[in-house]
Amino acid sequence: MRLYEHDLRARVLAEVHARPFMPVKTPRRFLHYAFLTDGEAAAADRAALDAYCASLGLPGPAPGAKQHRVVFSGAILRWESHSEFTTYTWEFADGQGLAFQPQPDALSGVMEGLPQPGPLLAAVDLHLLAAGEGDLPPEIGTTFTPASLAAAQAEGGAALIATDFQPDPHGYVRIVIADRGMTRVAAGALVQRVLEIETYRTLALLGLPEAQALAPAIRRIETALPDLMEEMRTSEGFEANHRLLDRLIALAAELEAGAARSLFRFGATRAYDELIRLRLEAIREQAIPGQTSWSVFLARRFNPAIRTCVTTGERQDTLSRKLSRIAQMLRTRVDVELERQNHAQLQAMNDRVRLQIRLQQTVEGLSVAAISYYVASLMHLVLEGAHAAGLHVDATVGTAVAVPVIVLGVAWMVRRIRRMHAEPGAH
């Protein structure tokens, strides 16, 4: 029996194996770059890497692949494409075992054959050194700024990680990993996780400038809202409420524009912050007496920036809900005022219709009188003519007798005509 597979089964199963930890032999030197790339830049970068590898007779990334590893002469490249950034990690053998020697400029020439895929965001110079048990390696004390030094044990004490999170004169953030007896797979995993912490730290902080740029507008809206509420409490009439509603809609539009612009950035900041926490847990960090651990350093220097982004997003959400409720109340007021005006207009129309009916009735009465007078005059002339012809007819008496009949007949005729015009579909 052959079972048919889901279209995405192979892709889902391969996802957990997409970024395997590569064994690393101590000592090693790593130069790691992270570039911001959108969809178009990422596609161009993939094509450029494929062409570069082909020019050297090496395989390029497979179609649709997000990771690629290729061995060059004297270096190994690990390329990764993510949703908004692309990383290049170069691995070099280090026969001397001296910290950060040679200078990174002597090694960074490997990037000259590749076009830069986007703005550089993270640049890391990581040195994996052999070390024994005991105090901090001397390289740490001579390399990093003591005031910003963050050092801790990792992998259950089998390694020591240290950095000051500051760029050196060449623009690289230096990181030292002292290998105290890790396996090659454990060393590769630790190197990858440490590089990810620095990359995600930089990406997460992209939300801070956005939050700082939005802060004045949010503060202004928060300040204007109580004044607007006070005006709303005392305002009366359609025009006043309508002006308040226009002002409120303008504030809401400004707020929502900023929220829409920062939605992705703040969401990405929260996601990267969570990834950093997971990576710190994965390296099994242990504090060193007298030293600031990575977790403590980031909690003191990094977490306030993340909290600023989170708080800004929460303030946007809170203000949006408040503005929505106030706008709903103002719309209700405006609708009530509008209905009141419509009612007054309908009442005025009813008064005008009643007046027109009365005028019509008056005109009808005058019309009956005028027509009756005209018919009676004709009748009188007819009777006078008959009297002149020799008939014994009194024209005055005959007219007097005919007037009531004429009036009733004319009134009936006028009423019938009015009813015919009032009936729907009457012709």
Summarised one tens digit per residue, pLDDT across range 257-277 is 998 989 999 999 999 999 999
Residues 6+ apart with CB under 8 A from 47: none
H or E element at residue 368: helix 303-388
- What pLDDT does residue 204 have? 94
- What pLDDT does residue 405 have? 83
Tokens 């409490």 belong to 233
Alpha carbon of 274 to those of 164, 200, 201, 280, 388: distances in Å? 21, 9, 10, 10, 123
Q: Give the 3-state secondary structure of residue 175.
A: strand
Tokens 């006043």 belong to 240
- What pLDDT does residue 7 have? 81
**Residue 155, phi-psi category: left (phi > 0), alpha (psi -120 to 50), beta (remainder):** left
Q: Secondary structure of the chain: what % helix, strand, coil (to 5)?
A: 60, 15, 25
H or E element at residue 67: strand 67-72
Tell me the pLDDT of the chain (427 aa) as tens digits. 678 888 887 777 776 666 677 889 888 999 999 999 998 999 999 999 999 999 989 999 888 888 899 998 889 999 999 989 999 999 998 766 667 778 888 788 888 888 999 999 999 999 998 886 655 677 777 788 888 899 999 998 899 999 999 999 999 999 999 998 899 999 999 999 999 999 999 999 999 999 999 999 999 988 888 888 887 777 777 777 778 888 888 888 888 899 898 999 999 999 999 999 999 999 999 998 888 999 999 998 899 999 999 999 999 999 888 888 888 877 777 777 777 777 778 888 887 888 877 777 677 777 777 787 788 788 778 877 777 777 777 778 777 877 888 878 877 887 777 777 666 555 4
The pTM (predicted TM-score) of the whole model is: 0.75
Q: Are 60 and 9 in contact (CB under 8 A)?
A: no
Tell me whether residue 363 is exposed, middle or buried, using C-beta atoms within 10 angstroms of its C-beta: 0 to 12, 13 to 18, 19 or more.
Answer: exposed
pLDDT tens string 80-106: 999 899 999 999 987 666 677 788 887
- What pLDDT does residue 239 have? 77
Q: How far apart are CA 322 and CA 221, in angstroms?
A: 11
